[in-house]
Chain A
Amino acid sequence: EIVMTQSPATLSVSPGEGATLSCRASQSVNTNLAWYQQKPGQAPRLLIYGASTRATGIPARVSGSGSGTEFTLTISGLQSEDFAVYYCQQYNDWPRTFGQGTKVDFK
């Protein structure tokens, strides 16, 4: 199965700053890559699909890029609601797999 590796495990950021999260696939997933945000006690929420397409209602300060094995989620001007755990997921191969998550917390 494809192993998704996210880095860093934790990212400490001050409000207003930017954050860059990485996701690496053990083999190519083309652009069949999604990013989700999860807050404590809540279900994951789709942010990005197709590696770079924002889901409905996601602000423009959230962006995704990459293809093949290397992907990036960038959040500019972090707001309080952005402090959460972020997961990547590939849906190119079976079984679909998630990364282990990156926690974005207050610096």
Chain B
Amino acid sequence: EVQLVQSGAELKKPGESLSISCKASGYSFSGYWIGWVRQTPGKGLEWMGIIYPGDSDIRYSPSFQGQVKISADKSLTTAYLQWSSLRASDSAIYYCARHHGLGRSSGLYSSFDFWGQGTLVTVSS
């Protein structure tokens, strides 16, 4: 059974750093793109970026490039989303999700078929 289990809710202050995680199980972690999606009441769902754990190829949305870092640890079958300096506007629910297609090339043009439960990040002074 494919499962993506995300780390728990976070309450942070502006300027602090943060890393949230997404532990994958039940499938070949290296063979599927995995990505991050932000959800806020005002902007709905926003695609942030994806990573192919097999070779750590990463594709960022221009809106998030330079603002966050996406990474993956194959040995831990875990994907990460990191911030070096949080802002209040980063407050949101963050979901990890796996691409439907298997493989680096064939999976690139693919929807998200399995999702994590979401991580609520609150940034407030």
Contact = CB atoms under 8 A, between A and B. Distances in A.
Contact of B112 (A34, A97, A100): A34
Contact-size category for A: 20 to 34
Contact of A45 (B46, B60, B110, B115): B115
A30 B112 CA distance: 17
A46 B113 contact: yes
A97 B47 contact: yes
Interface residues of B, number: 23
B36 to A, nearest CB: 11
A45 B62 CA distance: 25
A55 B113 contact: yes
Contacts of A97: 47
A91 B106 CA distance: 12
Interface of A: 1, 32, 34, 36, 43-46, 49, 55-56, 87, 89, 91-92, 94-101
